[in-house]
Amino acid sequence: MQGGDRAARRSPGASAAGRSGFVRLTELLTGIEPQKPPINLSVGEPHHPMPDFVGPVLTQHLNEFGRYPMTKGIEPFRVAVADWLGRRYRLPRAVDPDREVIVLNGSREGLFLAALAARRYVGDRGRHPAVLLPNPFYMAYYAGAEAAGCEPVALPAKRETGFLPDYDALPDDLLRRAVAIYICSPANPQGAVLPRDALAHLVARARRHGALVFADECYSEVWLKDAPPTGVLEVAGENFEGVVAFNSLSKRSSLPGLRCGFAAGDPDFLAAFLELRNVAAPQVPQPLQHVAAAAYGDEAHVEKSRQLYRAKFDLADRVLAGHRGYRRPDGGFFLWLDVANFASDEEATLRLWRDEGLRVVPGSYLGHTATDGSNPGAGYVRVALVDDLKTTEEALHRLAGCLG
């Protein structure tokens, strides 16, 4: 059975952008036994060594598991985040840890609930309020838009536009009904970085039309070139009006299981966001916040991890140099591989699993299919380089052998 036929049989709702791509992937591959030992390259879960300080800090604060945490976060965490933001970015002024930082139970729930808070905060946007998101996208954006009762407007991020949406082409009438604009830089999955001038111009346009800008910066510390990506707060002006940055320790510190992140920026929006979170959001245990505070105070483990990612992409440069359309991304830890020489990205995914034991994600599962049938993720697969060098090298050679 061909990949498309198999997916249609197993996933009656597979064309719906609101379904988890990982659930769809499991359905696609169920019942197929790989011919080689499996290597999971589908999930963006870093397998780098955990920082040494995690255990001791956690042990020191174990008694705090006996307390209900404050929703906004403990002061040591908020101060650590504000201090880190001041060191990492060229900000117009220092971030106020009391008014401009709140803790999140990982960035995903924050990115989802932010859309609901934005719909209340922004107010009337006419009969058809919209939330704009890059396409392909992280599923939390789309789910948040739908839950908020807004139209998710997916902006194609194609090779022709540098794998970023063409934000300059956004019509004014769309911005006038936009509640929020989600951006992701470095992008998941393509690894493209939004240039500083383009970021500043987008923020300015959003402000003129009263739309919020939500910047998913989870991959901000996995940069693969000489300079780090610009953060949205760097171009947001002294009051951070209408702009919120979201980040976490999953990628920066290889702590995906800690489930601790933050939102920082516009204090008025964050106050409204906190009102919603006080009744609807999961709290973050205080011992985990102390670990997070220690992580934001240390850069040595981050640099060590970054060097390991760079070494893996150096391997990819050598092993995949002849593969059609291969490009080293600017940031993040994903390969976004062109598989247009296969019948479909699903067929490529099936072949990689069956013949090579490699579990990857079809690009079309990460994107929205427009009414004309186009999907900017179609014809690609996403490959997560999250393992050690030895495992990564083995996976890259299997990829090269199968993809040609």
Q: Which of 302, 308, 184, 186 is nearest to 254 (CA)?
A: 302
Per-residue pLDDT of 367-395, as tens digits, reads: 999 999 999 999 999 999 999 999 999 99
Distances (CA, A) of 86 to 217, 302, 385: 15, 17, 30
pTM for the model: 0.95
Backbone dihedral angles phi then psi of residue 230, each to the nearest 5 degrees: -70, 140
Q: At what angle do helices 3-10 and 345-356 cross, to 10 degrees?
A: 100
Distances (CA, A) of 369 to 26, 103, 260: 20, 34, 32
- H/E stretch holding 167: none
Structural domains of the chain in order of their starting residue, each with its CATH number: 3-48+301-403 (3.90.1150.10), 67-297 (3.40.640.10)
Kindly tell me if the per-residue pLDDT of 348 is higher than 90. yes
Distances (CA, A) of 170 to 152, 156, 191, 314, 322: 14, 11, 22, 36, 36
- Provide the pLDDT confidence category of residue 131 given band limits of 50, 70 and 90: very high
Report, as an integer, the average pLDDT of 328-352: 97
Task: State residue 354's pLDDT score.
Answer: 98
Q: What percent of the chain has pLDDT over 90?
A: 93
